[in-house]
Amino acid sequence: MNSSRSAFPASVLALLGALFASDLVAQDPPAPRDVRSELKDRMKARYPLLEQARDAGKIGETREGEVKLVKATYATDKADAKDPAKGTVGELVEAENKDRQALYVVLAKELKLTAAEVAKQNGLRNLDKAKPEHWIEVNAQWVQRKTIKPVGQEKK
């Protein structure tokens, strides 16, 4: 009698275990978050507003791979005059820099560099790609790209 009494709970436990295990196996695990893709998608969606603000002279690029306000007073300007729901230029800059920093961390792990090194590489690339009328920060001063001479082409 003792053996049937102890076998009952064991068989029930085995049955319950099988049911729960099959339930867990039947469910698809959640898809892994692809942080890099999410960041790039947000940045791509934001790009037209950033380019518009750059063209308007409200924001510029830094060597550290960030975008900054050229003048603090631009922070409260609407990012898109046609769509106030898109927020302010200051909010646009904040969101972009947050995503850039997160992307630099992801890329740094892949490239076996520091996030600061990746940021600097991106900053230099952005400065190089800047249009002549765009603003860039050099030695804590804002200058237009067209005023900077490439190395080796300075006036003598």
The domain segmentation of the chain, as residue ranges, is: 35-144
pLDDT tens digits, one per residue of 57-106: 999 999 999 999 999 999 999 999 899 899 999 999 999 999 999 999 99
Angle at 95 between CA 122 and CA 130, to 5 degrees: 35
> How many CA atoms, within 13 angstroms, populate the side-chain half-sphere of residue 78?
7
pTM of the model: 0.74
pLDDT at 149: 76
Angle at 78 between CA 73 and CA 81, to 5 degrees: 135
Strand order of the sheet with strand 141-144? 67-69, 59-61, 135-138, 141-144
Compute the mean pLDDT over every residue in the chain, rounded to the nearest whole number: 84
SS (H, E, C) the chain: CHHHHHHHHHHHHHHHHHHHHHHHHHCCCCCCCCHHHHHHHHHHHHHHHHHHHHHCCCEEECCCCCEEECCHHHHHCECCCCCHHHCEHHHHHHHHHHHHHHHHHHHHHHHCCCHHHHHHHHHHHHHHHCCCCCEEEECCEEEEHHHCCCCCCCCC
